[in-house]
Structure 1
């Protein structure tokens, strides 16, 4: 059975945020999206612990704290380190991929250029995590 997810989306590009939200709205599920414009804002949201996300989806190239720096901080926190984090980026740089997996990322996805491919990717991502078991906090 698919569960409703609390998703922390960390993305500094407004168009990418709108695109992500549009895809989720077409799925007719009640997932809760918490948005952060960068890693620094995301850490503030996580430290408040008002809503602990089931999954974090983040871009790599962001101002203030980039995706790799954010991952390092997330995985260093004993309370937050078990939240799965998935990179959603345009960077197919091998060094970035290696560093993310070294930091404990749960997945590394490239943003497709075609909107139809993007829709399919996001749907598969959400469907996969909707049927996963998570560590209770």
Structure 2
């Protein structure tokens, strides 16, 4: 039996980062569709009003209006849907990592400096989510 392809919600205020993430998701065989929100507030609105139902949320931490931690807080309080949340941030702070893990983020990825590294990481992450296998709780430090 072949597992279904994923819907992914990318929550990132950086146009450049969102473009790079989108390019990686375009080449990922496990991704059926993706949508972008520019901050936590827009992501919550998409989840409440859209027909788009993500299996995975790629979440930046530092954003305007509602940041990544605020999004997780509101999502957990107001959603009966349980999709996986992966932090994908430029922050390599150990404090942010521990806060994310305590907030039930499944993995924390520091945005790597090379697109090839990001593509490989996102392919592995999406495959793990699609096949319902354990997700490595890795912490990449961008050099």
Could you say whether these structures have the same fold, taking a TM-score greater than 0.5 normalized by the shorter chain as the test? yes
The match for 2:95 is: 95
The match for 2:55 is: 54
Q: 1: distance between equivalents of 2:55 and 2:25? A: 16
Q: 2: distance between equivalents of 1:60 and 1:108? A: 10
- Count residues with an aligned counterpart: 132
The CA RMSD over aligned residues, in Å, is 1.7
Contact 2:7 2:31 in 1 (8 A): no
Q: 1: distance between equivalents of 2:131 and 2:71? A: 26
Alpha carbons of structure 1 residues 78 and 14: separation in structure 2 relative to 1, 3 Å: closer
- Mapping of residues 57-68 of structure 1, within 5 Å: 57-68=58-69
Matched, 1:123 2:128: no
Q: 1: distance between equivalents of 2:94 and 2:62? A: 15
Contact 2:30 2:127 in 1 (8 A): no
Matched, 1:20 2:15: no
Q: 2: distance between equivalents of 1:114 and 1:122? A: 13
Q: 2: distance between equivalents of 1:51 and 1:114? A: 30
Unaligned runs of 5+ in 2: 134-143
Q: 2: distance between equivalents of 1:6 and 1:25? A: 12
Q: 2: distance between equivalents of 1:2 and 1:35? A: 24
- Compute the displacement of 1:28 (Å): 4.8
